């Protein structure tokens, strides 16, 4: 085993990889903090987050499969060399965790007023928001995609584990993977590249249509776009990898750069119009009148049913939050 684990040190690749690991954490922090501080994830596309999470998971499992044989050298070489050998897996693991955390924060801080169908009616003393139980399309897709993301990771992780215990790779980097392991790693790498190549398309369309930056973090993209080039170089220099391991990040860097340019353009437009990243007017005090939410239950019996809107009179501190609804 010691002879087969005779792997040369590549200090440049190692330091580059660990530098990128720190850079990944730092680059994602602005996006995490932006959603938390603004308490909204409006402006992010759920399809973009779904494709990004599944792409990152596929890339991580691809790297784990490609380098699984090298990890057997951890016992004879010791913990320091083991950390060096597994740096690529650590790097992609951080990438997956940080991006998936964006998806988690997106679901947690999704605006309540955008979850359900409804209308807002202005009155003399307040704005009354009438909400229906029917979910809006984007929120419904967000729920579906969140479940699909979890199912994909669990299923792909189980298959990877099964492949690696049935087709055991050699620890020598010069020896090819067993056919089953190589085919699975290639499938993961290609699927990750496909997901990454179309990942930014939904976000580009979403941002273009809204003409607002929304909850997107420009500092994150400013760090990650050039960092994508370094990540490609870092992965390509790792032992036991091929083009399927780094093509994901090459495609993503180009598309992310396009999104960054678009956000700069919309920033300039927002400044000219005097609105913030979410379309609200700048330098204007918020309305002092409260907004009341009235829950309306719409029966589903195959017919078009229009909910009756409760009559709302003068509002004061004794006015109940839920108006009286007439039964049909």
Provide the pLDDT for residue 139.
Answer: 94
At residue 174, the pLDDT reads 56
Are the CB atoms for 242 and 91 separated by under 8 Å?
A: no
Q: Which token pair is 277?
A: 């990243």
Stated pTM of the model: 0.77
Q: Residue 310: its pLDDT value, please?
A: 47
* HSE toward the beta carbon, residue 26, CA cutoff 13 A: 10
Please report the pLDDT score of residue 309 as a whole number.
46
pLDDT reported for residue 315: 47
What integer pLDDT is reported at residue 125 of this predicted model?
Answer: 59
Q: What residues in the chain have per-residue pLDDT under 50?
A: 1-2, 286-290, 300, 302, 304-315, 317, 319, 321-328
Classify the C-alpha dihedral 236-240-243-244 as positive or negative.
negative
């Amino acid at each position: 085993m010691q002879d087969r684990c005779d792997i040369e040190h590549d200090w440049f690749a190692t330091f580059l990889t660990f530098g990128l690991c720190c850079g990944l954490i730092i680059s994602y922090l602005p996006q995490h903090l932006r959603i938390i501080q603004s308490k909204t994830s409006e402006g992010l596309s759920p399809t973009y987050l779904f494709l990004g999470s599944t792409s990152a998971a596929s890339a991580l499992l691809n790297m784990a499969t490609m380098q699984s044989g090298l990890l057997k050298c951890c016992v004879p070489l010791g913990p320091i060399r083991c950390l060096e050998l597994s740096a690529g897996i650590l790097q992609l693991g951080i990438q997956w965790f940080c991006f998936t955390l964006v998806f988690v924060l997106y679901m947690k801080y999704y605006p309540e007023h955008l979850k359900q169908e409804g209308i807002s009616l202005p009155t003399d003393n307040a704005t009354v928001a009438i909400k229906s139980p029917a979910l809006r399309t984007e929120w419904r897709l967000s729920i579906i995609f969140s479940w699909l993301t979890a199912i994909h990771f669990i299923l792909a992780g189980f298959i990877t584990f099964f492949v690696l215990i049935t087709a055991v790779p050699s620890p020598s980097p010069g020896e090819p993977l067993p056919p089953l392991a190589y085919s699975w790693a290639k499938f993961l790498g290609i699927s990750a590249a496909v997901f990454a190549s179309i990942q930014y398309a939904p976000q580009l369309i979403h941002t273009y249509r809204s003409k607002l930056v929304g909850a997107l973090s420009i500092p994150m993209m400013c760090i990650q776009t050039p960092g994508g080039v370094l990540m490609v170089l870092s992965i390509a220099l790792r032992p036991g990898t091929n083009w399927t391991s780094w093509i994901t990040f090459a495609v993503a860097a180009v598309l992310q750069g396009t999104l960054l340019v678009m956000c700069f353009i919309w920033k300039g437009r927002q400044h000219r119009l005097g609105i913030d990243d979410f379309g609200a007017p700048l330098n204007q005090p918020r309305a002092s009148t409260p907004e009341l939410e009235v829950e309306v239950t719409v029966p589903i019996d195959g017919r078009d049913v229009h909910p009756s809107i409760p009559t709302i009179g003068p509002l004061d501190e004794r006015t109940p939050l839920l108006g009286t609804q007439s039964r049909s």
